[in-house]
Structure 1
Amino acid sequence: MLKAIIFDYDDTLVQTRKTRYKTISNLALEEFKYKINVKEIDAAWGLPADDFLIKLFGKFTSDLNLIWKLYLEYSIKDKNVPHDSSFEFIEKYQKFLNIGIVTSSSEKVVLRELNELNINLDYFFFIQTSDYTNVHKPDPNVFLPINEKLTFNNIQKNEVIYIGDSPSDFYSSTKFGYNFLGIAHDPRYKDFFLNENINFVENFNDLEKYIVEMQNYA
């Protein structure tokens, strides 16, 4: 029986890639007079927050505090955008299930964005960011902090499903012992899910149908 859903954050709940490519491009051009290209951003995407910023901007300065200051200033100008019905789904199903987040993004970014979107943080039993562990996806041990919370509530691994958009989400969660469901908002990893015969949905309306079929929560 399903008792908990854990979500990836970036590109699963919110359209971070689309939003932050603009942020990163503007920051690089305006602060460092550098026209960054998509391949450079792609190469850093998915890294833990500090490593992500160092890979992008470390060639210009070794001052991580400065990079963070600039990134936060620029990201405020570009509000992140939820995927359709993502938080409506969470608002509804947090009444029946434990809902959590595990992300490689930093707490200061994720909590600020959720507050900007007027999301009730009480919907989540735990929001685990990069600040909570020294390991990150695809390392399965990334789930140790949140799993400790679940174990305290007598929830077993086979009663948990992790929902994410990338191969690293799949490998880390299944190696840890969780169930996995892909979400393919765009074609980026759809072929991966198809080729590996991994269950996936394409949006939150389909996710609701999937959960209802599993649990009859309608």
Structure 2
Amino acid sequence: MTSGTRAGRGPRVVLFDLDDTLVVTAEVKWAHHKAVARRFYGIDLTDAELALHWGKPFDAMIRALYRDSDTLERMREANLSLEEEFLKRPLPGAVEVVHELWRRSVGVGVVTSTNRLSALRDVERIGLRTDRLVLLQGADDSPHHKPDPRVFDAALATLSGRGVGVDDVWYVGDALIDLAAATGAGLRFVGVATGFHTREDFERAGAEHVLDDVRQLPDLLP
């Protein structure tokens, strides 16, 4: 369960969670949600409320955080209007790791609980070419959400159509819901302790591979 553990046959495709796996999110977006809630709806969000709803699909999360104070579309617009004040940034080494995977001819994709348009902007903003991704799936692209393993159904169907089987796909994420969804779908899971869950949390939950951060991922490759 250490960063030096070898994973046997290497992946043909690595799918990443986005938030707090490739980009710094909780630190930035908790402040963002607090600002939106206060400025538009007069709500003073607490860290406890944010922690309770963090990791939910984006639309469900903002409905809970902003307490259904407006239509979903208007709450999305309110959130978007302050986005430039609270931009996500890449986690150390994340961009370099993706480029290293591409250098080794490993496909890279993203399956995230963030809505698709926001995820595309996040990926482009940190300097990664979205046209090089094998796929990018946002929360609004699937009726299923982590920890439900069916969240991977569409992605795996896309990859299968390209001749990539489930045994050749790894999923990298920072949360226990990532672990549950990935292992339930038959994917090899790699945990990164850059979110709310520690190495010990992942190991207690049965994760085979746990890294301090995504920079150690190439060490797992054959």
Fold match by TM threshold 0.5: yes
Whether the aligned pair in 2 keeps the contact of 1:158 and 1:179 (CA below 8 Å) is yes
1:187, CA displacement in angstroms?
6.0
Q: Which structure 2 residues correspond to residues 20-169 of structure 1 after superposition, within 5 A?
A: 20-61=29-70, 63-95=71-103, 96-169=105-178
Q: Which runs of 5+ in 2 are unaligned?
A: 1-8
Paired AA for residue 70 in structure 1: A
**Contact 1:21 1:41 (8 Å CA) reproduced:** yes
Tell me whether 41-50 or 185-194 shows the greater mean CA deviation: 185-194
Distance of 1:82 and 1:164 partners within structure 2: 15
Aligned-pair Cα RMSD in Å: 1.5
Question: Which is richer in helix?
Answer: 1
- Alignment gaps of 5+ in structure 1: none
Moved more, 159-168 or 114-123: 114-123
Instruction: Percent identity, please.
Output: 23
Give the TM-score taking structure 2 as reference length. Answer: 0.90
How many pairs were matched up?
A: 211
| Segment drifting more, 99-108 vs 199-208 | 199-208
1:137-193 alpha-carbon deviations (Å, 9 max, x no partner): 111011011101211121111111111111111111111111111011256332211
- CA distance 1:186–1:178, shift in 2 (3 Å): closer
Establish whether residue 200 from structure 1 lines up as the match of residue 187 from structure 2. no
Q: Look up the equivalent residue of 2:78 and give its one-letter code.
A: L
Scaled by the length of structure 1, the TM-score of the pair is 0.91
- Compare relative contact order (CA 8 Å, sep 6+) and give the higher one, 1 or 2: 2
- Amino acid in structure 2 at the alignment position of 1:4: V
